[in-house]
Structure 1
Amino acid sequence: MTATKTRRLEARTDEQTEQLVADASALLHMSKTAFIEEAVRTAARKVVARADVTIMSADVFDSMMRAIDEPDHSPALADLARVPHLIGR
């Protein structure tokens, strides 16, 4: 079942973009509205999906993992680790 569409989006564009959308939607036998809606939905989903992902090269990832595996010299943190715990395990 298709949801009733009650919202409206408007955008200003140049003549070339309007013609490009018209040509592309005609080639796909879609209305301009359907073409734009599908393109916007696809782009928005991609942006939202990537929001929770960190993308980095393999070299950067390997460097990060080496840094995580090598402990830093931190006397202040070592001192805190020796403080008696208020909550026991």
Structure 2
Amino acid sequence: MFLTTGDLQRSHMIKSVVSATEHLMFQSDEIDQFERFDGLIEKVKQDLMDKAEAQDGDGLIYVNFNTEIAQVSVAPRYLIVTGYGTIVKLAE
């Protein structure tokens, strides 16, 4: 299974587009913990690969990640990572 942010320079068939989202809550009085985005990105990568595997894909191309901090009320706040990509099957 592979992930790439660009195109694939070999024959392949596009299977589907998938997305995955992970979040983490922290109290609003805590200092923003941007380094915690790294762990969320890793979880989203794994979610994307699991979805690609479930659809009999060999990998994902054009993978992108969006990060944000959402405040639902006065407290708490959420770190949110959303990833998406295109599942491909390599040609024989």
Short-chain TM bin = under 0.3
Q: Which has the higher contact order (CA 8 A, sep 6+)?
A: 2
Which of 1 and 2 has greater Rg?
A: 1
Larger fraction in strand:
2
Return the TM-score normalized by structure 1: 0.26
Return the TM-score normalized by structure 2: 0.25
